[in-house]
Amino acid sequence: MADVFRALDDETRRLVLDQLATRDGQTLFEICSILAARYDVSLTRQAISQHLGVLEEAGLIRTERLGRSKYHYFTPEPLAEIARRWPTGQRTEP
């Protein structure tokens, strides 16, 4: 689970997850274009690719290669596991 927290520690990676949660199955080119246009994030494709690698290692995204393109998909299960670990609404007052 430490990888999940490390992956979420970076604002660019959180923006990437936001984009994939909005519309799954984006290519590196699409992600770079949206980050630049919508959030003024001007990183190289290589830098964004490295961020995608961290997210994939943490299990927050999965990739699928179709022909020459590689598509990225949001995987919410690690975040759901965090939510299950610390449920809200079940606290008792001391």
Spell out the domains of the chain, with CATH numbers in brackets: 2-84 (1.10.10.10)
Burial call 43-78: b when 16+ CB within 10 Å, e when fewer: eeeeebeebbebbeebbbbeeeeeeeeebbebbeeb
State the pLDDT confidence band at 88, using cuts at 50, 70 and 90: confident
Tell me if 4 sits within 8 A of 78, measured CB to CB. Answer: yes
* pTM for this prediction: 0.86
pLDDT digits (tens, 9 = 90+) for 13-35: 999 999 999 999 999 999 999 99
pLDDT digits (tens, 9 = 90+) for 51-75: 999 999 999 999 999 999 999 999 9
Query: Which pLDDT belongs to residue 84?
Result: 86
Give the count of beta carbons closer than 10 Å to the beta carbon of residue 15.
17
